[in-house]
Chain A
Amino acid sequence: MMDVHRERKVTWIVLGIFFLGLMIVAVSIFNKNKKNQVAIDKANQLTAELTQAGLPVPQVQQIYNVLGDDGGAVCAAPANALVKSILYGQLTNGAAGPGQRPIIADNKAFEGVALIIKVYCPEEAADFQKVVDDLKTADVAA
């Protein structure tokens, strides 16, 4: 029978190799270079939309590095049921454990996302708006 300490060591090594491998795969797959002319143009377009809406505007490089030329994760089926459950999972209190519980979200929470969708994937705008319209919001953020 394997000694307890040895068993734990094996567990640590197996999990260590697994997470290291996962990290290497993720780093090699993750699209780090999203800058191209279309991405810059769309970032400028989003900047204009945010300014017009009176919302805070991040730097252009932050926008194209995150959203690229296709909106990235924001435009990956934003009205899909599972993605909707991710959204619902974030309209919650500040718990990170089992105390996580839904709240009444701030009414400004979706303005920026709606504009991103409008610029990067307008074909999803109507479906996303339906998702937002189904939610109850209030002016809870300062």
Chain B
Amino acid sequence: MSAMDVPARRVSAAATPAVAKPKPIHYISWIALALMTTSSVASLRAAPTMAVYGLACIFLYLVPAVVFLLPTSLVSAELASGWSGGVYNWVSQGLSKPMGFLAVWCQFAMTIFYYPSLLGFVASTLAYVINPDLASSGIWTALVIMVCYWSGVWVSSRGTGSVAGLASGGLIIGTLIPGVVLVTLGAVFLGQGNASAAPMDAGHLLPAWAGLSSLVLIVNNFLSYSGMEMNAVHVGSLKNPGKEFPKSMFLAMGLVLLIFILPALAISWVVPADQLSLTAGVMQAFDAMFAQFGSTWLTPIVGIMLVAASLGGMLTWLAGPSKGLLMISRQEGYLPPFLQKLNKHGVQQNILVTQGLVTTVIALGYALIPDVSSVYWIFSVITTQVYLIVYLLMFVAAVRLRRNQPDHPRGYKAPMLVGLCGVGFAASLAALLIGFIPPSQFGDGNTTVYVVIVAVGALGLGLLVPFLFYRARKPSWKTVNADSAEAEVAQS
């Protein structure tokens, strides 16, 4: 992607006293960053799941967009336009350094459990187009997870420019193009005079109200937009961060909404909800869509495109949170020097590899131990709880920064910031609380046991582990000062 590979600029040696040989910055364009952000958050993977709700999927995406997407996007746009480094620096400046470490740790830790489920989806998608029997093979699933994950680590270790290009390419090839195909087919289906499979009248604008279960559905959907702030860690790779980051956020917001809503609607027009076979995975819905037009030859092509998009999205998660973790750890000595080492591209290779080893163990458990794959979903609840801590801290930090540093230059000022932060904080807190309600997968299990598992898991992963790192920190582990850490890592 040439848009990302613009000419380099030299960083002033005076600004980076601890860096012997400043490297050229390889800028990325704001459009590339918008595509990276979109790639981190949205894909067609969710479309069949939400198509079940028919017209109500608009409500299920728009309400969370107002109470969660808008606050997180606008607040992170203001913060990134004033402070580089992403969530760790915002929370460090607004609250304290340990809180900044907690925020970026939570953002980093939750990805460890995300990769196996994402790559499990890749394995099942490939199985659908190659041989459906492979979907039940642990060896196949383990192989796909390992090859894809470590290939992703290799690509990420080559710098932000590589990740930006591939994530943008993956989004265009694997989400935007097939999304347009799906919506076009849906429109053709209706244009041919066929009745929509899902009712499209005003009476179906809202989902059925089933009390707490509906609340769980609506509030959990807030998390559909989690990750919008994550790529702010690359703000130093923009030429004019103050102006360009907000622009990239607005473009990403629009794309995310379109990608989530339109393909889900298109599927609901053509495929009846009860035919969206859940056991056969996402591909069954696409296959049924194409079968309507006698074009099932499109199924394997779209399957591989979806895989490309998923892997592009994975790259952004590999490159983002680990970079933030590195930056604060270098300044404050929160991680041992081994984990702070950079490769020749200025990338935190040892963090990526260590994370990869942990992920490998979890992924192999997921693929090869039946009991683990069946209860894996509970890890996803724990990790989303941990991620919500990041948002709670971010909103509090944003308000404090506006009050304590009102004159700090910002390229963009979010309107009604305090109100936005209040809404975003309340939405995050609601999602955190609703996470303690047992979902379908827990069946008739004991609610207290479920609450204890989620609470202990979230406290252990989100608070205990970073606390232990914090306690073990050493002054000698500080390898750079704040300015040079940002300047050096921005070059990657």
Contacts and interface: CB of A to CB of B under 8 A. Distances in A.
**Are A and B co-members of a single complex?**
yes
Interface of A: 1, 4-5, 7-8, 11-12, 15, 19, 22-23, 25-27, 29-30, 32, 34, 50, 55-59, 61-63, 65-66, 72-74, 76-78, 80-106, 108-113, 116, 128, 134-142
Given A61-B294, A99-B226, A94 B274 contact: no
Contacts of B380: 92, 100-102
Nearest to B41: A97
B277 A94 contact: no
A72 B49 CA distance: 20
Contacts of B446: none
Interface in B182-240: 197, 199, 203-204, 206-208, 210-214, 216-217, 220-227
Nearest to A116: B277
Contacts of A63: 291
Given A58-B275, A96-B42, A103 B220 contact: yes
A56 B384 CA distance: 35
Contacts of A83: 135-136, 279
Given A26-B304, A56-B275, A81-B374, 7 more contacts: A26-B126, A61-B294, A80-B136, A100-B384, A112-B274, A128-B279, A140-B213
A110 B155 CA distance: 40
A90 B45 CA distance: 10
B281 A56 contact: no
Contact of A140 (B46, B217, B437): B217
Contacts of A5: 5
B162 to A, nearest CB: 5
Contact of A136 (B279, B288, B292, B442): B442
B105 to A, nearest CB: 15
B260 interface: yes
Contact of B207 (A12, A25, A140): A140
B371 interface: yes
Interface string B40-65: 11111110111011111100110000
A89 B120 contact: yes
B333 interface: no
A81 B300 contact: no
Interface string B360-383: 000000110011011011001101
Interface string B120-140: 110010111111110111100
B229 to A, nearest CB: 12
Contact of A141 (B226, B273, B283): B273
Interface stretch (B11-19, B109-117, B404-412, B465-473): B109-117
B147 to A, nearest CB: 11
Contact of B60 (A8, A56, A94, A113): A94
B382 to A, nearest CB: 10
A139 B53 CA distance: 11
Question: Chain B interface residue count: which class?
Answer: 35 or more
A92 B49 contact: yes
Contacts of B308: 19
B284 A73 contact: yes
A76 B133 CA distance: 5
Report, nearest first, the 10 A-B pairs whose CB atoms are least far apart.
A112-B274, A99-B223, A81-B370, A65-B291, A138-B213, A56-B272, A99-B226, A102-B439, A26-B300, A73-B280
8 contacts: A29-B129, A73-B135, A81-B370, A85-B373, A98-B110, A101-B220, A112-B272, A142-B204
A19 B211 CA distance: 46
Nearest to A28: B300
B48 A90 contact: yes
A66 B284 contact: yes
Given A101-B384, A140-B210, A66 B291 contact: yes
Contact of B440 (A34, A128, A135): A135
A94 B26 contact: no
Given A84-B374, A85-B376, A91 B224 contact: no
A95 B277 CA distance: 19
B288 A88 contact: no
A112 B304 contact: no
A8 B32 CA distance: 15
A7 B197 CA distance: 49
Contact of A103 (B203, B217, B307, B370): B217
A81 B66 CA distance: 38
B387 A142 contact: no
A89 B121 CA distance: 9
Contact of B165 (A8, A27, A55, A136): A8
Given A61-B291, A93-B223, A94-B61, A86 B117 contact: no
Nearest to B443: A134
A78 B162 contact: no
A39 to B, nearest CB: 12
B166 interface: yes
B223 A95 contact: yes
A142 B206 CA distance: 7
B299 interface: yes
Contacts of B166: 11-12, 15
A88 B377 contact: yes
Given A4-B159, A106-B52, A140-B207, A101 B371 contact: no
